[in-house]
Amino acid sequence: MPERFERRHLLSIRDLAREDVERILESARGYEASAADRVKRSTLQGRTVVNLFYESSTRTLTSFELAAKRLSAETTSIRASGSSVDKGESLRDTAETLDAYDPDVIVVRHPLAGAPAIVARSMRAHVVNAGDGKHQHPTQALLDLYTMLDALGRLEDVHVAIVGDVLHSRVARSLLQALELVGARTTVVGPPTLVPRGMETLGCEVSTDIAAIAAADVIYVLRMQRERMAAGEAFIPSLREYTALYGITPARVRAGQLVLHPGPMNRGIEIDPRVADSANALVAAQVRAGLVVRMAVLTDLVTLSRPARADALVELA
């Protein structure tokens, strides 16, 4: 049994060391059986998990809700549309209100970078970042590692090519850091306007040529996030040209290569439907991994990290 650690939150992959990642993936593996048998674990019996989502989400929210329920936690989800300003109540006030219910974990998704950190500063609960702006989405990266490990049997020296709109992708940032942590090799591929400057400093190679995916073990396809492109600020001339240059078509995938996508997919834009539906694609496996990995993350924070409530008492004293 590992010792309790000082970390209280999962806000960024940067919060984790390699052994943390390995422990979470191993613990997730242990939940596979209960996921398959739909057996509830009593691990978080009597605990409360609140999901605070300021951005629409189907799979992440469902996955966190189910994970909490499979662990016997009480769970409730709050969907807030728009930014905290539109809503009239500040993020800090919302966090302090929720804190009054004394939840054990709060899962936050927000359209702006750093919002979960603000919640973490205002609350006694453990905070899990379920995606903040273009910054981080650590549980997505962990479930992607789990999926790759499951399919390939290793992560060390695995070569992953991440393709598409890297500029607007929190998934890409988290995944690059997570892959670096476990010793994988990464290549980022996308149009020059959608790969931010200094990407190499995150430990990856960068290419604007789709041919660079040929050597990879895994092709990780990013969603072409049209909603992030305000009118009058087109990063690419057209989706048609994007698809021609970077779309993942059967011709661009070789036998044995794995194809992952964080969803939701724009079929026919960044990924050809024939690839999405092929045996190479592990999209459904990613969704299943999401459940067990989030069970592992919740368990890890509540049972291993510095207890939130006792900590609060110490701070008050």
State the residues that interact with other proteins by CB under 8 A. 83-85, 90-92, 110, 112-115, 117-118, 132-136, 169-170, 173, 196-199, 201-202, 230, 233
b/e map of 264-280 (b: 16 or more CB within 10 Å)? ebbeebbbbeebbeeeb
Query: Closer CB to other proteins, residue 114 or residue 307?
Result: 114
Q: For residue 262, what is the DSSP state? A: -
What is the C-alpha separation between 66 and 17, in angstroms, rounded?
Answer: 27
What is the C-alpha separation between 106 and 126, in angstroms, rounded?
Answer: 6
Contacts of 62 (CB under 8 A, 6+ apart): none
Token code pair at residue 122? 């205002």
Contacts of 80 (CB under 8 A, 6+ apart): 52, 53, 54, 87, 94
Let me know: does 29 contact 59? Beta carbons within 8 Å. no
Please, what is the minimum distance in Å from the beta carbon of residue 241 to other proteins?
Answer: 22
Residue type at position 146: Y
Please, what is the minimum distance in Å from the beta carbon of residue 123 to other proteins?
Answer: 14
Query: Closer CB to other proteins, residue 42 or residue 201?
Result: 201
Query: Closer CB to other proteins, residue 83 or residue 249?
Result: 83
Please provide the size of the chain in residues.
317
Residue 306 backbone dihedrals phi, psi, to 5 degrees:
-55, 125
Query: Closer CB to other proteins, residue 108 or residue 302?
Result: 108
Query: Closer CB to other proteins, residue 145 or residue 167?
Result: 167
Please, what is the minimum distance in Å from the beta carbon of residue 193 to other proteins?
Answer: 11
User: Cβ–Cβ contacts within 10 Å for residue 29, how many?
Assistant: 15
Let me know: does 136 contact 170? Beta carbons within 8 Å. yes
Neighbouring-strand partners of residue 248? 271
Please, what is the minimum distance in Å from the beta carbon of residue 206 to other proteins?
Answer: 11
Please, what is the minimum distance in Å from the beta carbon of residue 59 to other proteins?
Answer: 20
Please, what is the minimum distance in Å from the beta carbon of residue 120 to other proteins?
Answer: 11
Let me know: does 129 contact 15? Beta carbons within 8 Å. no
Please, what is the minimum distance in Å from the beta carbon of residue 136 to other proteins?
Answer: 8
Query: Closer CB to other proteins, residue 148 or residue 206?
Result: 206
Please, what is the minimum distance in Å from the beta carbon of residue 198 to other proteins?
Answer: 4
Query: Closer CB to other proteins, residue 44 or residue 172?
Result: 172
Q: Give the CA angle between residues 12, 15, 19 to the nearest 5°.
A: 125
What is the C-alpha separation between 137 and 134, in angstroms, rounded?
Answer: 9
Query: Closer CB to other proteins, residue 57 or residue 249?
Result: 57
